[in-house]
Amino acid sequence: MFINRCRQKAGRLLQTVDVRVDGNRPWDIKVQNPRFFPRLFAQGSMGLGESYMDGWWDCERLDQFFFHVLRGKLEDCVHPLSVLPTVLLSRLFNFQKPSRHKIIAEKHYNIGNDLFACMLDRNLNYSCGYWATADNLEQAQERKLALIFRKLGLKPGMRVLDIGCGWGAAAKLAAERYGVEVLGITVSDQQAGYAREVCRDLPVEIRLQDYRRLNETFDRIFSIGMFEHVGYKNYRLFFTTVKRCLAPEGLFLLHTIGNNQTGTTTDPWINRYIFPNSMLPSARQITAAAERFFVMEDWHSLGPHYDKTLMQWYQNFNASWDSLKDIYGNRFYRKWKYYLLSCAGAFRARSIQVWQVLFSHEGILGDFEVVR
């Protein structure tokens, strides 16, 4: 009886966003285990994600399902009590303090370079591509980096800092094409080893280092897809560090996923299974952290480009699964598919964003126009 009531309630909610239980359209869900329905209301996002990993329900097009659900703000209709402890703890504790900075590397970025090599472009860019004039993933990633470097006005001889350098793609391109010297920092030993190898003949240094330990001067600084791991309790410290390290006439570009609303936590399922201790900043949190430190020169919104990027990553991952399945197993496949396609749906629904924000110390004098 209780399961039936939960099923009826879920069916009514899903109908409001044009999703049917056991329907035939690509975005409809097919439920294999009826315990899915009470689990959904008891655990919310966590129950939805874990039950998918467990094979309790399926959907032909998860990206379209999440587009419907998130565009219709259905998450506002489910309020499981299980999330309250996480919200309270996030206000009491700093989950991104220095002693915890390696957790994200161990749980995500060190999973295996073989996985990321199959999924990403050939240079292993793990952030949103720029598709305005691109026909494929390689072009989209290269043009994203070119856009960033044009905004920063890179010139030969400059010293540049890459905060969260990943597998070294940005540092490599900046050194090769713009003649700059680059320091890239990461907390992942897998990324650091790979980046050192691909940049070995270039004026690039790769360090295993937390950003808070930086105390050097750079002409330009950029951070691509790392700010999501900083945490709201550390935003001011992050900008303090950049302020300390940026030369007086320097520029700083922040490329980050952003949240439409100010919060202190991330999606519970994403936090447990994909990006532990992560959270998405709001525009208000970014501007408050940068206030009195920098002048904002430009704010560029790129959210829809991440939908296309994630769909291409999923296609690459899915096409390569036969070479990966013996290493990672079926449960990992369902987890990773859910991650990539749920995020694609979220960007498509404009529930989350991608921002490139350009800062200077005191404001650029004279005629100035940011490139697009």
The residues that are catalytic are 343
Contact 240, 66 (CB under 8 A): no
Phi and psi at residue 270, to the nearest 5°? -60, -40
Q: Are strands 246-259 and 352-360 parallel, antiparallel or unpaired?
A: antiparallel
Q: In sequence order, what are the beta bridge partners of 298? A: 358
Nearest to 299, CA basis, from 151, 170, 155, 154: 151
What span, in angstroms and rounded, lies between the C-alpha atoms of 184 and 15? 49
Contact 199, 177 (CB under 8 A): no
Largest separation between any pair of C-alpha atoms in the chain: 72
What span, in angstroms and rounded, lies between the C-alpha atoms of 308 and 344? 7
Contact 255, 353 (CB under 8 A): no
Residue 317: C-alpha distances to residues 51, 101, 202, 220, 290 (Å): 21, 27, 30, 34, 37
